[in-house]
Chain A
Amino acid sequence: MTDHDTIPVLAHDLVKRFGDFVAVDHINLEARAGEVVGFLGPNGSGKSTTIRMLCGLLRPSAGQALVAGFDVARKPEQVRRRIGYMSQKFSLYNDLQVIENIRFFAGMYDVPASVLHERTEWVLYMAGLVGRESTITGTLPGGWKQRLALGCAVLHRPSILFLDEPTSGVDPISRRRFWELIHAMAAEGVTVLVTTHYMDEAEYCNRLVLIFQGRIVASGSPTELKQQAMAGELLLIECDRLGPALDLLQQVPDARHVALFGKALHVVVPDAQTGIPRLRAVLSAHGIAVSRIEPIRASLEDVFVSLTAQLSGQRT
């Protein structure tokens, strides 16, 4: 267990280069005990690379990271005893039985014999695999596999948990169960760093870190992020002829982040009170019938889409 005064995860100007390519570019990060920190970012933005450096699997090219108070580059073994890690790929042995996987990883983590039975039972219980101990792991459905992998990663009761896309390819109900487990652990003081592509999951995090091309571009609680990133108010517009409407709104000076969301448009305006009548007028003037226009709460997806759109525009 970590002392109360050491910060479980602390990264300072962490850099990872692969040859000339900078995969992680001066990342600063801090996670406190019991916090669930979500990493969001498009494919290839450097999420896995960051987590791997924090686990001591990759050596940072520059910068420093302290996990459980130990420098990951200098004392990776000390770090490893204190963390649990689920890699992005499913990485239990598919050809072993459920119970054999549990025993194997318990052995790797040196789980004391006195608590082995209890921990094993606990993993089986939380993965919903009681009575299926001798099932071959590879034949389990995705959701069960992921819970078993989580169980195997926390057999030694680590105080810090790194989860790299733990729920990819898992059905919504299993995902929800998985997140309940994460929150139960966080409630006991475990620090969780988790990457995900699911926006609904991001809402479950205490804090979010948005990574884009190796850099942190925004961070904060989900609520903070939505307010910050969306300086202004988000409007939903339903109308006919979406295409021309989109083109039209992009010409309006104050309207920003015009984007198509399903069968509607999202637009950000500085103020809803004055914005709504103005946009309605513009659209009607061009013969577009507006059936609905109202302020809505921004979803994280809006934040995510608008931020990455903005940044892509700047960088390329």
Chain B
Amino acid sequence: MLRRLHEMLVKEFIQVFRDTRTRTLLFVPPIIQMLIFGYAATLEVRHIPIAVLDYDNSQVSRELLSRFTASPYFDVRTYLSDRREIGDLIDRGEVTVALQINGGFAQDLGKGQTARLQVIVDSSNSNTALIAVSYINQIAARFAQEFQRTQLLRTSPFAPSQMPSIVFERRPLFNVNFDSQWFFVPGVIGNLILVMVVSLTAFAIVREREIGTLEQIMVTPIGRLEFILGKTVPFFLIGLFDTALVSLVGTFWFGVPFRGSIGVLAIGSILFILCMLGIGLFISTISRTQQQAMVSGFFFNMPAISFSGFGTPIGSMPEWLQTLTYLNPLRHFLEVLRGVYLKGVRLDVLWPQMVAMGLLGSIMLAISVARFQKSLD
């Protein structure tokens, strides 16, 4: 038993590590993807392209606009002179927001009247649009407040320098700067491991089926379990190594704090990789060709990622869907990753997720092993 398993493993590792291309494929793409996704998958919107149209052309209006030029959230691209240019600019996607200050802006403000600032937003990406509007609101509100204060000081110098005002102060518990990279990077780790382990496992077996070596192995006395272990143990180890690798990128490149224990992360990763091996194995039992495996993999990966809480919060899904997500190992793994990374929580909090992954993994592996037959029918 052990001898055959040993020979299987030797063979698998030779095959993986002999070929430079395969070797590179196992470790370089995860890092690159981590970098790309780490930057791309972020809720934060910066450098929103903006056009400004100042009909007032007063000192006050220029003062307001300078707040936008100074803001890291906006890039002032063009200064317009005609409002008719706006529509075209937005259509061509050159700017997302156009800001229009109407004539009499300074005057109204001086008289203490409501001064109007017109904002035209491209809301085809509603997320960005909402965020942009809220930034504009903040900038405008602060500007108004400061304007009022200077105004007040000028008219009555002895008035208290501190204006009574309510400022909404955000005090997040874990992610102090609302840095969405912190939120997303652990998620990206989960996604990468999912895609890597599922496809590697499925492909490794289906490829042998396709080239015919599987048939040759099946006529040897090797046991089903020996074969399956021989095929999965290497990818288990590679998966674990990749987890460590992308986690290091997350910590050292993106500076996501690692507040929890490596042990808890390791347990979570092991359980999650077992689930993914089960899925990969299952896909290999229903696919005759690598192409079929790829399609099946896609059908698993897409919903697994969409309904994991990676992008869309699970809380905002319909009730029944929320219940279904408990069957998704990635959901639990993301909770573990975020818990360990951002909150530093331990097993006393994360045990339900661990148990869930353990159960799901056992069920999936059991089904796949049962389905995997040493025959060609």
Residue from B3, B8, B10, B215 within 8 A of A89 (CB atoms): B215
Is B212 an interface position by the 8 A CB rule? Answer: yes
The answer to the question of A198 belonging to the interface, with a C-beta cut-off of 8 Å to chain B, is no
A58 and B375 form a contact (CB under 8 A): yes
Q: Are B216 and A87 in contact (CB under 8 A)?
A: yes
In the assembly, what is the distance between CA of A81 and CA of B222, in Å?
Answer: 10
Q: Which of A55, A95, A105, A107 contacts B19 (CB 8 A)?
A: A95
In the bound assembly, the distance between CA atoms of A36 and B377 in angstroms comes to 28
Interface size class of A (residues with CB under 8 A): 20 to 34
Any chain A CB within 8 A of the CB of B159?
A: no
Q: Which of B3, B15, B215, B375 contacts A59 (CB 8 A)?
A: B375
Interface residues of B in 1-54 (CB under 8 A from A): 3-4, 6-8, 10-11, 14-15, 18-19
Whole-angstrom distance between the Cβ of B207 and the nearest chain A Cβ? 11
Please give, as numbers and ranges, the residues of chain B lying within 8 Å of A58 by CB-CB distance: 375-377
Please classify how large the interface on chain B is, using the bins under 10, 10 to 19, 20 to 34, 35 or more: 20 to 34
B residues in contact with A76, CB < 8 Å: 374-375
Within the complex, the shortest CB–CB distance from A293 to chain B, in Å, comes to 49
Complex contact B19–A104 (CB within 8 A): no
- Establish whether residues B212 and A90, one from each chain, have CB atoms under 8 Å apart when the complex forms: yes
A110 at the interface (CB under 8 A from B): yes
B374 CB contacts on chain A under 8 angstroms? 76
Instruction: Specify the chain A residue showing the minimal Cβ separation from B216.
Output: A91
User: In the complex, which residues of chain B have a beta carbon less than 8 angstroms from the beta carbon of A304?
Assistant: none
* B19 / chain A contacts, CB cutoff of 8 Å: 95
- Say if the beta carbon of B219 comes within 8 Å of chain A: yes
Nearest A residue (CB) for B214: A91
A window 231-283: CB within 8 A of B = none
Residue in contact with B212 in the complex, picked from A77, A91, A95, A105, CB distance below 8 Å: A91
**Does A96 contact B376, Cβ atoms closer than 8 Å?**
no
Interface string of A64-95 (1 = CB under 8 A from B): 00000000000011001101010101111111
Q: For B238, what are the chain A residues with a Cβ–Cβ distance below 8 Å?
A: none
Selected A-B contacts with CB under 8 Å, 8 pairs:
A55-B219, A57-B215, A89-B212, A91-B213, A91-B216, A104-B10, A107-B8, A108-B222
A-to-B contact residues, CB < 8 Å: 52, 55-59, 76-77, 80-81, 83, 85, 87, 89-96, 100, 103-105, 107-110
Known: A89-B212, A92-B216. 12 other contacts (CB 8 A): A57-B376, A58-B376, A59-B375, A76-B374, A80-B221, A87-B216, A91-B212, A92-B213, A96-B11, A107-B7, A108-B217, A110-B3
